[in-house]
Amino acid sequence: MKLYPRNKLPVREVRKFIIIFYIVGILGFLIPFTRDVFIQITPLALLLAAYLLGIYHDNWNKKTVLGFALIYLLGFSVEAVGVNTGLIFGHYSYGSGLSIKLFDTPLLIGLNWLFLVYTTLAIVDMLKIKGILSILLAPLLMLAYDLVLEVVAPLMDMWSWEDNTVPLRNYIAWYLLAFLFTGLLKALKIRTKNPLALVLFACQFVFFIFLAIFL
């Protein structure tokens, strides 16, 4: 089966496209006139990132599909419980920036968990870090990402916190869940080697850093 752009373009060209895509995104958010439009298309950017990771993933099989589905469902379920009870992360609510919601929880939030777990583990594996250390370090990358994202999320109408204060337990829960999901991929021996994982994670991270500083 021919997949675009995997079977049409060299990987380096796809990487260039991703970098340009996020540069345009930064400019779109920083320009007041276009900001609302870019907030509306944020879900499409996440879907595009997931699509690119998916078609460049080399080892699709039933176990891989099961592992990815479990992380999506667990990520969504934890967020649904969290936003409706305040027991896991603290008291917060979702805006419209992540599109369609079920139980006051965006359907895309599970995909976001999967995206982050996959890319951070791919980066750690690329650095040849193995064993329990890889399961400890990948969630640290996710935690660093979340520290920046929490500053930007309300500005992008993703979510907001009660009294505009992010509680410490949010970061503790974020790390523990990332550790659990990373361990799940390792336990299932799902390979995360992907030529686009680093550039996608890095571009998103830099994107949020720019918005946190200048928005």
State residue 215's pLDDT score: 86
Identify whether 134 is part of a domain: yes
Identify whether 64 is part of a domain: yes
**Considering its fold, how many domains does the chain have in total?**
1
CA dist 15 and 18 (Å) reads 5
Per residue in 108-134, pLDDT (tens digit) is: 999 999 999 999 999 999 998 888 999
Q: 177-207 in b/e burial notation, b at 16+ Cβ within 10 A? A: bbbebbbbbbeeebebebbbbebbbebbbeb
pLDDT grade for 205, boundaries at 50, 70 and 90:
very high
Instruction: Say whether pLDDT at 1 is over 70.
Output: no
CA dist 171 and 142 (Å) reads 10
Containing structural domain, residue 56: 11-214
State residue 107's pLDDT score: 97
Average pLDDT value for residue range 27-53: 96
State residue 77's pLDDT score: 98
Kindly report the pTM of this predicted structure.
0.95
Per residue in 180-190, pLDDT (tens digit) is: 999 999 999 99
Identify whether 26 is part of a domain: yes
State residue 22's pLDDT score: 98
Instruction: Provide, rounded to the nearest whole percent, the portion of the chain with pLDDT above 70.
Output: 100
Identify whether 4 is part of a domain: no
Task: Measure the CA angle with vertex 154, ends 149 and 159; round to 5°.
Answer: 85
Identify whether 6 is part of a domain: no
pLDDT grade for 27, boundaries at 50, 70 and 90:
very high
What residues contact residue 156 under an 8 Å CB cut-off, 6+ apart?
29, 39, 42, 97, 211
pLDDT grade for 160, boundaries at 50, 70 and 90:
very high
Map residue 182 onto helix, strand or coil: helix
What residues are paired with 92 via a beta bridge? Answer: 161
Identify whether 77 is part of a domain: yes
Identify whether 156 is part of a domain: yes
Average pLDDT value for residue range 42-70: 95
Identify whether 130 is part of a domain: yes
Question: Is residue 89 a contact partner of residue 174, using CB atoms and an 8 Å limit?
Answer: yes
Average pLDDT value for residue range 6-15: 94
